[in-house]
Amino acid sequence: MVTSETLSADTTAAQDLGEPKMRATDVSVFYGDKKAIDNVSIDIRTEHVTAFIGPSGCGKSTFLRTLNRMNDTISSARVEGVIELDGEDIYQSGMDVVQLRARVGMVFQKPNPFPKSIYENIAYGPRIHGLAEGKSEMDAIVERSLKRAGLWDEVKDRLDDSGTALSGGQQQRLCIARAIAVDPEVILMDEPCSALDPIATAKIEELIDELRGRYAIVIVTHSMQQAARVSQRTAFFHLGNLVEYGHTSDIFTNPREKRTQDYITGRYG
Amino acid sequence: MSKAVTMTGTLAGNPIVTPTRSPAFEARLKKRYAQERRFKALGLGAVGFSLFVLVFLLGTMIWNGLGGFQRTVFDVPVSFEGMGLTVMQTDNEGAAIRALQSQGLPEIVSFAAEKTLGEAGAAQINSEAWREVAAAIIADPSIVRSGGTFALPTTDRFSTAYLGEGQAALQPLARELEAAGHVRRAFDFGFLRRADATDAQLVGIWGALVGSFYTMIVTLLLAFPIGVLAALYLEEYAPRNRWTDIIEVSINNLAAVPSIIFGLLGLAVFLTLFPTLRSAPVIGGMTLALMTMPVIVISGRNAIKAVPPSIRDGALAVGASPVQVVFHHVLPLALPGILTGTIIGMARALGETAPLLLIGMRAFVSTPPSGFTDNATVLPMQIYLWSDQVTRGFVERTSAAIIVLLVFLLLMNGLAIYLRNRFEKKW
């Protein structure tokens, strides 16, 4: 139940920034007959961190996964509406899913490095896309990705060790490095810190802030503090609806909707 | 411990009775521990019993089988001086042996035996014994000029008599020759090199081993790729609907079908299509592949299922195509499990007899097969054929063949366990 008021207010707020990187218009997602996402419209901008918040089961992760068509792996999932990446509908029949996912990378809730060496974890994406010619170029990509993910100094002497031998926080940064190794335009993060301790979480948040300058980042989080810390824009989902979307400072200090206010003040969720 | 609980429960003037500190609870606790002890004892008993059975089985087998690896031989010095034997320079061993035969080698050998063992003893030299001498000459032509002492196999009857059984008439002769030091039991290396024969002293396991080898190759080449691809398709690509459910149930049923039914299928289908290939390893392999494939599909699907979905997600998210996800990630991670299942399925196929009976692999094959379309028999079939024979020699040979088969099965299962432990990934 998106009020037209919310939407128009948001659109005006966004207009000063030019065309958005991704734009979802009237998107609904169904699992079989069950509607998980109801008519959501939202803009994702480059050089912004957009946070999706909301209580468990509100559909924020589902919506995130529609942005790079990861829901395609679930046969019962069906998406209606239009999602555009640079003005191109990603659900149109001509869209190449492989290319889409190379442009819209993803980091998952639980760190999921491949059970291969650290080097291979990073090199896998560039290799299947043929982004590097020769070993030295690949080495450079691996080094650059690990540096951007803030992991280089910790692992540079043991690139041949298994990625699964790292600590949880390091594994998650490895996954981020893996995602940025293919130079995506958008990075989707699905509760990237929920399996990590506070120190590792702080590192990831720092990293997200640094990466913002280069990519459009969308982060799903359970923690409102985290959303307030890392994001510039926040979307509040509830029961499959986008209740409110706007500048993070506005959402947290001056929410327009009662439900948003109730949630961020801890009445439910 | 339990005493303390009772005491606190009945402390003078202050009876603390909570549900977990009452005498009733204590009694239940005792019962629980007793249950645990009984269960442990039962488990130990079961393990002990299986160990006992295993040791008993292996013990009898080895005890009987050791005799099967030996045979009774006469030590006979043979001199070739002045006999004018020449060794044919050829790669064809059969032709060289025939050439020696035509030069009178069998007569030379029996003459030498008569000189050493006497007429009665020489009669008990195996009629094919001269072939061993011929083989020795071909292996080392220099002995043609001098001669040497050869271990010549006895007749089957004499061997039995030497071991204290069989014809009473031969036993005094055996004792007499033994006393003279002419006869002994010797390890029979030839058992591992020869094929089937009508005489227990002359049989070997090599023919059946080669037959088993060719059959297993065909089985593996058919069952492994088909089984793995079927498992991959069913797990990774197939939609979940009524058809895939039917396929899944059918494959599970196929794994439970008695092997003799597969034999009938092979007889009805394969031998109708290729009637000239009766007894050939290629047909045997095809029949056994039918039997092995469902095992590989089922173990393969389980191994593929065990690969965490997060790995697939991670690969998809960097832009791997579904085929790349399968071949770069899922298959390598599932491979140890698939291989374990494959080896266990192959071990079952190696020990299988019933389906091969029906497609004619119970032939008497006296030369090892030299290809996939030659007549052949397999190890378990050889055991079955020998166990049909009544003479003492064949009983021992049967046990020896069982040991050879068991050694191969243990090796295969050991390899499966090794692979599982070595390459199992932890997440």
Q: How far apart are alpha carbons B304 and B58 in whole angstroms?
A: 36
CA atoms within a 13 Å half-sphere pointing along the CA-CB vector of B224: 15
Per the model's pLDDT, the better-predicted residue between A269 and B225 turns out to be: B225
Please indicate whether, in this complex, the C-beta atoms of B315 and A124 are within 8 angstroms of each other. Answer: yes
Which three-class secondary structure state does DSSP give residue A127? helix
Contact state of B315 with A114 under an 8 Å Cβ cutoff: yes
SS3 content of chain A, % helix, strand, coil (to 5): 40, 25, 35
Least CA distance to B320: which residue of chain A? A98
Q: How many CB pairs under 8 A join A and B?
A: 67
What is the rounded CA–CA span in Å between residue B162 and residue B391? 13
Selected residue of A85, A128, A129, A188 to mutate for chain B interface (largest B Cβ count, 10 A): A128
Q: Using an 8 Å CB-CB cutoff, list residues of chain A that contact chain B.
A: 68, 70, 73, 75, 98-102, 105-108, 110, 112-115, 124-125, 128-129, 164, 175, 178-179, 181-182
Q: Is A128's CB within 8 Å of B310's CB?
A: no
Whole-angstrom distance, CA of residue A179 vs CA of residue A185:
10
Residue B237 Cα, gap to closest chain A Cα (Å): 10
Q: Convert the pLDDT of each residue in A43-66 to its tens digit.
A: 998 888 999 999 888 889 999 999
User: Beta-carbon neighbour count of residue B195 at 10 Å?
Assistant: 23
What are the chain B neighbours of A114 within 8 Å (beta carbons)? 311, 314-315, 329
The secondary structure of residue A31, as a DSSP letter, is E
Interface contact flag, A128 B324, Cβ < 8 Å: yes
To the nearest whole angstrom, how far is the Cα of A127 from the nearest Cα of chain B?
A: 10
Q: Which of A66, A74, A85, A101 to mutate to test the interface with B (most CBs of B within 10 A)?
A: A101
Residues of B in contact with A113 (CB under 8 A): 314
What's at A76, amino acid-wise? S
CATH number of A4-114+179-264: 3.40.50.300
Task: Specify the amino acid at residue B43.
Answer: G
Closest CA to A73 of A23, A31, A24, A121: A31
Q: How far is the alpha carbon of A106 from chain B, nearest alpha carbon, in Å? A: 6
Task: Choose among B319, B333, B426: nearest Cβ to A101.
Answer: B319
Rounded to two decimals, the pTM is 0.81
pLDDT tens string, chain B, 427 residues long: the values are 444 444 444 555 566 778 888 888 999 999 999 999 999 999 999 999 999 999 998 888 888 888 888 889 999 888 887 777 888 777 888 888 888 888 888 888 888 888 888 888 888 888 888 888 888 888 888 888 778 888 899 988 888 888 888 778 888 888 888 888 888 888 888 888 888 888 888 899 999 999 999 999 999 999 999 999 999 999 988 888 899 899 999 999 998 999 999 999 999 999 999 988 888 999 999 999 999 999 999 999 999 999 999 999 999 999 999 999 999 999 999 999 999 999 999 999 999 999 999 988 888 888 889 999 999 999 999 999 999 888 878 888 998 999 999 999 999 999 988 888 887 765 5
Instruction: Determine the residue among A67, A73, A96, A127 to mutate to test chain B binding: the one whose Cβ has the most chain B Cβ atoms within 10 Å.
Output: A73
* Chain B nearest CA to A102, separation (Å): 5
Cα–Cα distance measured from residue A119 to residue A140, given in angstroms and rounded to the nearest whole number: 11
Contact B318 A128 (CB under 8 A): yes
Least CB-CB distance to A114: which of B316, B329, B426?
A: B329
Who among B318, B333, B426 is closest to A182 (CB)? B318
A128: nearest CA partner in chain B = B320
Distance in angstroms (rounded) separating the CA atoms of residues A266 and B183: 99
Query: Which ranges of B69-104 would DSSP assign to H, the alpha helix?
Result: 93-102
Measured distance CA(B13)–CA(B60) in Å, rounded: 71
Mean pLDDT of chain B: 88
Please judge whether B314 and A108 are an interchain contact, meaning their C-beta atoms are less than 8 angstroms apart: yes
- Kindly determine whether residue B426 and residue A164, on different chains, have CB atoms separated by under 8 Å: yes
Q: Check CB contact under 8 Å for A112 and B239.
A: no
Residue of A109, A124, A132 whose CA lies nearest to A56? A109
